[in-house]
């Protein structure tokens, strides 16, 4: 069984985790992959997906929206306050 990429001393960057997740998905889509390997890949994919989501959530809290006011000035608002306006 492969070493868990998330158990390394140095955590994967978002880009590294996403690249590995894409590789996992491609392997799972391959009809030649054995059932045991697919289950292992699935578990790894779930862990990688959670890792990427955790990173995105951390960065999302740092992103702000600049809103132009009527007087021409700008007000900074956290992204969470404005995100529902785009849904």
Kindly state whether residue 67 falls inside one of the protein's structural domains. yes
Kindly state whether residue 1 falls inside one of the protein's structural domains. no
CA dist 23 and 14 (Å) reads 14
Model pTM above 0.75 = no
pLDDT confidence of 78, banded at 50, 70, 90? confident
Torsions phi, psi for 58 (to 5 deg): -60, -45
Instruction: Count how many domains the chain has.
Output: 1
pLDDT confidence of 87, banded at 50, 70, 90? very low
**CATH at residue 15:** 1.10.287
Kindly state whether residue 2 falls inside one of the protein's structural domains. no
Q: Pull the structure tokens for residue 27.
A: 């392997």
pLDDT confidence of 81, banded at 50, 70, 90? low
Kindly state whether residue 79 falls inside one of the protein's structural domains. yes
* Paired strand residues for 64: 78
* Paired strand residues for 41: none
Kindly state whether residue 44 falls inside one of the protein's structural domains. yes
pLDDT, tens digit, for every residue of 8-29? Answer: 678 899 999 999 999 999 999 9
């Amino acid at each position: 069984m492969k070493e868990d990429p998330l158990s390394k001393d140095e955590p994967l960057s978002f880009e590294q985790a996403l690249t590995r997740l894409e590789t996992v998905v491609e392997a799972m889509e391959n009809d030649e992959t054995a059932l045991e390997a697919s289950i292992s890949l699935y578990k790894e994919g779930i862990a990688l997906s959670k890792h990427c989501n955790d990173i995105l959530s951390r960065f999302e809290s740092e992103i702000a929206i600049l809103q132009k006011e009527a007087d021409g000035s700008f007000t900074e608002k956290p992204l969470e306050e404005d995100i529902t306006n785009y849904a």
